[in-house]
Amino acid sequence: AKENQVFLNLDLEQWESHDITYQIFEDILLKPEFSDYSHVGIVVQAYLKHSEKDLERLLALAKRRGAPIGVRLVKGAYWDYELVKARQNGFECPVWTQKSESDIHFERLSRFLLDNIDYFQPAFGSHNLRSLSQAMVYANAKRIPKSAYEIQMLYGMAEPERKVLRARGHRVRVYAPIGELLPGMSYLVRRLLENTSNSGFLKLSHQDDVDPNQLLREPQLEKNSTTLKMPEGAPFDNCPLLDFTKMENRERFQKAVDDWVPKFPAKVPVVIAGEEQSGEHVFERMTPNDGKTAVAEVQLASVGQAEQAVQTAVTAYPEWREKPIKERADLLNKLADILERDRFELAALMCHESGKPWAVADADLGEAVDFCRYYACQALEELAPRKQGNVWGESNILSYEGRGPALVIAPWNFPLAILCGMTAAALVTGNSVIMKPAETSSLIAKELFDRILEAGCPSDVCQFLPGEGSKVGAYLVEHPQIAQIVFTGSKKVGLEIVEKAAKVQKDQPQVKRVVCEMGGKNAIIIDDDADLDEAVSGVVSSAFDFAGQKCSAASRVLVHENIYERFKTRLLDACKSVIVDVATSPSCVLPPVIDETAQKRLLDEIEMARKEHQLLFQGQVPADGFFVPVSVFEVQNERCRLMQHEMFGPVLGVMKVKDFDEALKIAGSTQFALTGAVFSRSPENLMRARQAFRVGNLYLNQGSAGAMVNRQPFGGFGMSGIGTKAGGPGYLMHFVDPRCVTENTQRRGFTPDLE
């Protein structure tokens, strides 16, 4: 731009890219080669609570570099988006919630620009004549020439206003999108909607004939504004995720990642009745990031230790069962507080041990916190003894109580959240627990276990038994005194557990109950009118986040033939942008897979698929670490292995379908029924999907992964699970025996109800 003497303006869009945009702008402008170039500008959005600080920062920058900066002052175009996103993520809302606050700030910021006219080239971008006039009047009073600032309007949006301003000698820059027709049109439509909204100046003045005096009066805060009330939180609110757009959070996270390094390899003992013990073997867990640094030395429990843990759990159970529900719920709330207190440390550990990228690890922690708080709320509500029936002379009280020792068998892919959720549910309902984490994620499991005890759980009520699934896991599943098994993992192991648990052993006191959540083969349907921006990014994140190692990950995409080629081109382009890196690096999108066995298995699967299907895309991966490249195949037949078998890696099958019906049919053609998604703008097809796309969690116009506790109770049916919904109503009922006590309250000649 400088070589050609072109004016370059940096636009601002969503708040999430605000900081980085300003940072880049500042970095570039401070380079000596650009320090005197004045044909550069940036946007300030008056609807941001941060906008005054933005201007102060720009002023300091202009003074430092010694040349003025163009500032395009606007109100901002993503108001509802920002509001909704902030609420969804639990972040502080970055925009003013009253429209008039944005107007007030626009005026204040205008004056700031004009007060510092030596350092700024202001451009007032608005169609609101009040907002523009106050700036012009103020400039006039300060004897600032009209040539020192400009007015900006959108092409075709406010022609009469533009003409008046031109006639009065103002510089009016009209701007218009250029480039492709359709994106340009959609931009114009968006602006049109915004400018013709009920509260917009153009509609009020041109359409509603509002009194000009009212339109032109100074904007004022509405005292009893009904414009917006943020929805109330409590009794349950999701734990806000970390806002990584904040430098402070990035720095703290990096420090937490670094702080772990000297502690490796950390020791993970067996813990029975509070006593740390060695196991019969030691398993050395390598980080998947390089495949050779040991992060943990895990003591693998023996069968004898498993037996000891069961006996402890059997003895501890009755007293724990009798505790008031409130006391057990308090334990969960305390645990949630502790997990939040240590969130950086725990999430950073998952980057090392499980290869979870920063934000994915943080979300894992957030979900663990959510499970604790949610089950605490649910226990108080759902497990409270209640009266049944409504007749005289009889009292009926229904209550719930724990069932006995619960064996919790967890997978490695949500190493904190799932283990925590299953354990918390079992504890709050009055069961003693034996935690059997996955071998590869034993260290984070131990960190959780320590915090469960710190929160006040008696050491005989919860015990920690790292070990081999096929050995101690299998032994415990068949143990007659285990009352229930809470399992999340693969279909193969899950079905084996269901079968073994069904067999009654000698001296077994009760029928075992199994809560069993298994795998998926999740499909995303792309309809012919889908918004491709959203569809492509939804597919890429659902398929490749955490290297496709989520049970909810998408592994099949079914694309309407009318849009197939366009979708395919864009999908493959997007695949190129997936950044492959170690999970400890903040730029990582595609981390390594969990271990060498998984890596080898996936590479074999990819080799096999290559023989049968056309490979559309394959990414590059580093030689060190257990990386598997993003691999996208074009598939002709939905019955093939690639479209039926859960791969659990970054492998995606893309298939062309002739219409929405065929897409639905193919989506439902596997034995799994866990998650699914549809991108479509047809209300009719979305409605059909609600009915006919039968999976535990269906997402319309968003990706297939990322369930939040309470908002999206999670779990599948078919061969994906028994149909329980973790993080949803009714889940705790799996962990209790209901009891009803009926008393005849009538005594001869006396019925209390009639008194």
Q: Is 582 exposed, middle or buried (0-12, 13-18, 19+ CB in 10 A)?
A: buried
Kindly tell me which residue out of 43, 409, 428, 536 binds ligand NAD, with binding defined by CB under 6 A: 409
* 8 A C-beta contact, residue 565 and residue 575: no
Q: Find the binding residues for ligand NAD in span 611-670 (CB under 6 A).
A: 646, 648
* Piece in contact with ligand NAD (CB under 6 A), picked from 25-33, 354-362, 413-421, 528-536: 413-421
CB 475 to ligand NAD: min, Å:
8
CB of 267 to ligand NAD, least distance (A): 20
> Rounded CA gap, 440 and 556, in Å?
27
Which of the residues 531 through 560 are near ligand NAD (CB under 6 A)? 551
Nearest distance, CB of residue 472 and ligand NAD, angstroms: 8
- The amino acid that residue 166 corresponds to is R
Task: Tell the smallest beta-carbon distance from residue 550 to ligand NAD (Å).
Answer: 7
Region of 117-125, 187-195, 432-440, 607-615 interacting with ligand NAD (CB under 6 A): 432-440
Sign of torsion over alpha carbons 138, 141, 147, 153: positive
Q: Least distance (Å) from ligand NAD to the CB of residue 273?
A: 22
**Which listed residue (551, 605, 638, 646) is catalytic?**
551
Q: State the sign of the Cα–Cα–Cα–Cα dihedral 17, 553, 412, 605.
A: negative
Site for ligand NAD in 476-535 (CB under 6 A): 477, 488-490, 493, 496-497, 517-520
In the residue annotation, 612 being an active-site residue is answered as no
Number of residues that bind ligand NAD (CB under 6 A): 33
Among 355, 650, 653, 715, binds ligand NAD (CB under 6 A): 715
Nearest residue (beta carbon) to ligand NAD? 469
CA dihedral 224, 227, 233, 239 (to 10 degrees): -130
Say whether residue 412 binds ligand NAD (CB under 6 A).
yes
3-state secondary structure at position 278: coil
Residues 441-480 that bind ligand NAD (CB under 6 A): 469-470, 473-474, 477
Q: Smallest distance, Å, CB 572 to ligand NAD?
A: 26
Look-up of token digits 């959780």: 448
* Closest separation in Å from C-beta 96 to ligand NAD: 40
Going through 222-363 in order, the beta strands assigned E by DSSP cover 266-268, 270-272, 275-277, 281-286, 294-300
Stretch that binds ligand NAD, among 17-25, 81-89, 269-277, 433-441 (CB under 6 A): 433-441
Tell me the C-alpha distance between 618 and 232, whole Å: 46
CB of 417 to ligand NAD, least distance (A): 9
Work out which of 238, 308, 413, 481 binds ligand NAD, going by CB under 6 A: 413
User: For residues 250 and 601, which CB has a smaller minimum distance to ligand NAD in the complex?
Assistant: 601
Single residue of 357, 411, 415, 703 touching ligand NAD by CB under 6 A: 411
Least Å distance, CB 714 to ligand NAD, is 6
Residue 194 beta carbon to ligand NAD: minimum distance, rounded to whole angstroms? 41
CB nearer to ligand NAD: give 279 or 721. Answer: 721
Stretch in the footprint of ligand NAD (CB under 6 A) among 63-71, 297-305, 410-418, 501-509:
410-418
Among 290-298, 454-462, 539-547, 716-724, the segment contacting ligand NAD (CB under 6 A): 716-724
In which region does residue 278 sit, left (phi positive, over 0), alpha (psi from -120 to 50) or beta (all else)? beta
Q: How far is the CB of 581 from ligand NAD (least distance, A)?
A: 23
- 517, 605, 638, 646: which is the annotated catalytic residue? 517
Cα(57)–Cα(547) distance, rounded to whole angstroms? Answer: 39
| Residue 368 touching ligand NAD (CB under 6 A) | no
672 interacts with ligand NAD by CB under 6 A: no
Single-letter amino acid, residue 55: L
Spatial distance between the Cα atoms of 564 and 328, rounded to a whole number of angstroms: 54
* Torsion sign over Cα 698, 704, 707, 711: negative
The residue among 48 and 295 lying less far from ligand NAD, judged by its C-beta, is 295
Helix and strand numbers, DSSP H then E, in the chain = 24, 28
Among 410, 525, 678, 732, binds ligand NAD (CB under 6 A): 410
Here the tokens at position 481 are 């005194």
Amino acid occupying residue 147: S
**Tokens at 79, concatenated:** 């108001």
Among residues 219 and 473, whose Cβ is nearest to ligand NAD? 473
Site string for ligand NAD, 22-61 (x = CB under 6 A): ----------------------------------------
Long-range contacts of 381-385 (CB under 8 A, 24+ apart): 382/729, 382/730, 382/732, 382/733, 383/325, 383/429, 383/732, 383/736, 384/325
Instruction: Give the count of alpha carbons within 13 A of 497, CB side only.
Output: 34
Contacts (Cβ under 8 Å, ≥6 apart) of 322: 430
41 vs 519 by CB, closer to ligand NAD? 519
Q: What are phi and psi of 433, to 5 degrees?
A: -130, 140
Site map for ligand NAD, 718-737, x if CB under 6 A?
A: --xx----------------
**Closer residue to ligand NAD in complex, CB, 117/498:** 498
Residue 90: CB minimum distance to ligand NAD, A: 23
Q: What span, in angstroms and rounded, lies between the C-alpha atoms of 710 and 375? A: 10
Closest CA to 629 of 645, 656, 609: 609
Contacts of 633 (CB under 8 A, 6+ apart): 609, 610, 613, 614, 615, 616, 642, 651, 652, 653, 654
Question: 527 vs 595, which CB is nearer to ligand NAD?
Answer: 595
Name the residue nearer to ligand NAD (CB basis): 197 or 644: 644
Nearer to ligand NAD, 144 or 593 (CB): 593
Is there a catalytic annotation at residue 351?
no
Residue with smaller CB distance to ligand NAD, 340 or 496: 496
CB of 601 to ligand NAD, least distance (A): 11
How many Cβ atoms are within 10 Å of 273's Cβ, its own excluded?
A: 17
- For residues 125 and 727, which CB has a smaller minimum distance to ligand NAD in the complex? 727
**Three-state SS at 485:** strand
Beta-sheet pairing, 120-125 with 69-74: parallel
Distance CA 603, CA 607 (A): 6
512 touches 482 (CB < 8 A): yes
Q: Is 288 among the residues that bind ligand NAD (CB under 6 A)? A: no
Identity of the residue, 139 or 435, whose beta carbon is nearer to ligand NAD in the bound complex = 435
Nearest to 739 by CA among 388, 427, 253, 347: 388
CB nearer to ligand NAD: give 131 or 552: 552
CA distance 543 to 77: 31
The residues annotated as belonging to the active site are 517, 551
Q: Under the rule (CB under 6 A), what is the footprint of ligand NAD?
A: 409-414, 418, 436, 438-439, 469-470, 473-474, 477, 488-490, 493, 496-497, 517-520, 551, 646, 648, 674, 715-716, 720-721
